[in-house]
Structure 1
Amino acid sequence: MPIGDAPPLVRPIVGRANRPAITSHRGRARWERLAPYLLIAPAVLVIVLFRLWPLLLGVNFSFTGDGDRNGTPVGLDNYTDLWNDPVFRIALRNVGLLVLLLPVAVAIPGLLATFIFLRVPGNRLYRTVYFFPAVLSPVIIGSIFNLLLAYDGPLNELLQTAGLGSVDWLGDPKVAIFTVVGVHIWATFGMALVVFLAGFATLDTTLLDAARSDGASLPQVIWHVIVPGLSRTIQFVFVTTMIGMLTSMFGLLYVMTSGGPGGSTYLPEYYIWIQQGQMNRPALASAASTVLFLVMLVVGLAQIGLLRKAGRED
């Protein structure tokens, strides 16, 4: 008898036999789709409760008043006060300066990591020495450089011996911000160096060998092989370095200049501390924090976009 002419009773029996397997397969597929979401749910919950929710509360608080108007809605008054405050405008101008200096802060650990990866003599010692400042407290670093960079300190004595004259590293408004930023870069580039070295572990060494066999010079190898191969690492270091420069310089500023001279070394985080801790204006400090967050978001997205565009062009 042909298979298509089987008795009607046979087909339901076969269907019932396959139903448990089909149901089990569907349940397994559903679990596989839900498993990633269940695994990341605790991390997402922590981020929402301890990051996003306080951020939203801070943004909402920035639209309330201080002092006699404590807790009452004031609209954009705090943001207007920020815009009219010359000290805050100096802080924003210094943020622009940090963005311009950011490529230098990234290039230094990148080049050092390149030399270590290429195994220059003493590379293991250099790796330890370069990372050592990253474990020091900003207060200790600031105190050390206060002694080194004092007007009658060792560095100026060395410059005078060379016939170059003294420089008021921390007292000249045109020089102080560059001094503090330079000290910060020296103190923190060890972490970026470690990230770059981790990125080099994923680099295709056959491309380096091919470039060398073709007679490429070191600058050509760096620009045409290493930079494209580490594009994602460079993006990460750019963003994390920018965040560190905008949010982790308080210790150095407090110890080295206290925002001076004449407010020339103010950054938004130091301005926020002054308004919250000394002026007792938490709502205005929340407004400044919101502005700082927006600045970091815009600058970070712009950097990622430019680096991706440059990577596609290469």
Structure 2
Amino acid sequence: MATTLQHHRPRTTRRRDARAAVVFMLPAAAFVGFVFIYPIFAVVRTSFLDPFTDEFAGLANYRALFSDPIFHAAVTNNLKLFVVLPFLVITSLVVAQILHDQIRGWRLYRAIIFVPYVVPVVVAALVFGQILQSRGLVNAILEAVGLGGLAQNWLGDPKTAVWSVAGVVQWRELAFGVILFLARMTQLPVDLYDAARVDGANWYQRLRHVTVPQMSTMIAFYAGIIVVALFNWVFNYVFVLTKGGPGTSTYVMEYYIYSRAFIYGDFGNAAALSTLMLGAILAFMVTFLTWLSRRGAL
């Protein structure tokens, strides 16, 4: 009898611990469900309702979305912003390698580079809004060096507005990549760099043949974060710098959702695009994380 009780006691203990764990997790699960899951369900539901009668409208909001030229302009502008991706990866990697080589004053340079990332997006956008004006700092510098013919209203010209926004994004997001890469570089074996120097490899060859192969997974991880950011983290830049203008030259999908919902009151159209963006980002993240897992990064 004693042997039987000792045999069953661990199983009883595990069941009691499992029940206790469920009880403790219920408040957190309810909070997550209320804050995250319910709003997602509500947005998806709204995308199938008529925005004015709240009656079921099927795919009417989605059809209206795809027939809207402003939506096509927003998608195009989001894709244009992806030009930032290779520049961010390359410049972050190069700057991180320079700091990793511990040039004179590298600690000061590291702090200076990281400053933009701690500056709120709204503050950074307000500052650059002044710098990029017709009489702003950029044009003043161009005129001072004899390139006044290149001066223009960078945010007021449809040809340059979206690229100016991309430049501000590049300036601020560079710091995160540098710190991320620099942290990984400190974990790389020093012997690899010493062997490369003995073999006569120059700085660029060490970067290309030693650093990049060793950091391929980290580079892919950073690129994945930037892809998601360029989809759903650029609203603040656009809202403060241009408010989607001039015309629709800087409309992005986030700003399209905001304008349709809170300026025009078309919550059905806004919910339809929100649902599509959610599905696209989830599909990308599942694919991306699966790929990282197969490479042994997770």
Paired residue secondary structure (2:249): coil
Alpha-carbon distance in 1 for matches of 2:25, 2:96 = 33
Written as runs of structure 1 = structure 2, the 5 A alignment for 1:46-65 is: 47-65=32-50
Over 3 Å counting, the alpha-carbon distance change for 1:77 and 1:229 in structure 2 is same
Report the counterpart of residue 128 of structure 2 in structure 1: 145
Matched, 1:235 2:220: yes
Over 3 Å counting, the alpha-carbon distance change for 1:299 and 1:19 in structure 2 is closer
Aligned length: 294
Report the counterpart of residue 136 of structure 1 in structure 2: 119
Over 3 Å counting, the alpha-carbon distance change for 1:170 and 1:283 in structure 2 is same
Report the counterpart of residue 240 of structure 2 in structure 1: 255
Q: Deviations over 1:200-223 (max 9, x none)?
A: 233233323322222222222222
Cα deviation, residue 190, structure 1: 1.8
Alpha-carbon distance in 2 for matches of 1:305, 1:162 = 51
Paired residue secondary structure (2:61): helix
Alpha-carbon distance in 2 for matches of 1:255, 1:99 = 20
Report the counterpart of residue 294 of structure 1 in structure 2: 279
Paired residue secondary structure (2:50): coil
Cα deviation, residue 268, structure 1: 0.7
Matched, 1:190 2:175: yes
Report the counterpart of residue 102 of structure 1 in structure 2: 85
Alpha-carbon distance in 2 for matches of 1:38, 1:192 = 40
Q: Deviations over 1:67-122 (max 9, x none)?
A: 2x2x2111111111111111111111122222343121222222222211221221
Report the counterpart of residue 272 of structure 1 in structure 2: 257
Q: Deviations over 1:167-191 (max 9, x none)?
A: 3311221211010011012123222
Matched, 1:179 2:164: yes
Q: Contact conserved, 1:235 with 1:304, CA < 8 A, in 2?
A: no
Q: Contact conserved, 1:110 with 1:196, CA < 8 A, in 2?
A: yes
TM-score by length of 2: 0.84
Matched, 1:91 2:36: no
Over 3 Å counting, the alpha-carbon distance change for 1:55 and 1:106 in structure 2 is farther
Report the counterpart of residue 168 of structure 1 in structure 2: 153
Alpha-carbon RMSD across the aligned residues, in angstroms, is 3.2
Alpha-carbon distance in 1 for matches of 2:293, 2:163 = 29
Cα deviation, residue 230, structure 1: 2.0
Cα deviation, residue 279, structure 1: 0.8
Alpha-carbon distance in 1 for matches of 2:108, 2:23 = 45
Cα deviation, residue 306, structure 1: 8.0
Report the counterpart of residue 8 of structure 1 in structure 2: none
Cα deviation, residue 266, structure 1: 0.7
TM-score by length of 1: 0.80
- Which residue identity does 2:153 align to in structure 1? D
Q: Contact conserved, 1:106 with 1:241, CA < 8 A, in 2?
A: no
Q: Deviations over 1:228-252 (max 9, x none)?
A: 3223322321122222222222222
Alpha-carbon distance in 2 for matches of 1:308, 1:98 = 28
Structure 2: segments with no counterpart, 5+ residues? none
Structure 1: segments with no counterpart, 5+ residues? 1-15
Q: Deviations over 1:102-160 (max 9, x none)?
A: 12122222222221122122111111111111122222212211221111222112213
Q: Contact conserved, 1:238 with 1:303, CA < 8 A, in 2?
A: no
Of the structure 1 ranges 177-186 and 246-255, higher mean CA displacement relative to structure 2 is found in: 246-255
Q: Contact conserved, 1:134 with 1:188, CA < 8 A, in 2?
A: yes
Alpha-carbon distance in 1 for matches of 2:97, 2:30 = 39
Q: Contact conserved, 1:66 with 1:281, CA < 8 A, in 2?
A: yes
Alpha-carbon distance in 2 for matches of 1:108, 1:38 = 49
Q: Contact conserved, 1:207 with 1:225, CA < 8 A, in 2?
A: yes
Cα deviation, residue 192, structure 1: 2.6
- Which residue identity does 2:234 align to in structure 1? M
Over 3 Å counting, the alpha-carbon distance change for 1:41 and 1:299 in structure 2 is same
Of the structure 1 ranges 271-280 and 236-245, higher mean CA displacement relative to structure 2 is found in: 236-245
Paired residue secondary structure (1:173): coil
Over 3 Å counting, the alpha-carbon distance change for 1:262 and 1:308 in structure 2 is farther
Larger radius of gyration, structure 1 or 2?
1
Alpha-carbon distance in 2 for matches of 1:296, 1:102 = 16
Report the counterpart of residue 113 of structure 1 in structure 2: 96
Over 3 Å counting, the alpha-carbon distance change for 1:268 and 1:299 in structure 2 is same
Alpha-carbon distance in 2 for matches of 1:225, 1:42 = 49
Q: Contact conserved, 1:66 with 1:282, CA < 8 A, in 2?
A: yes
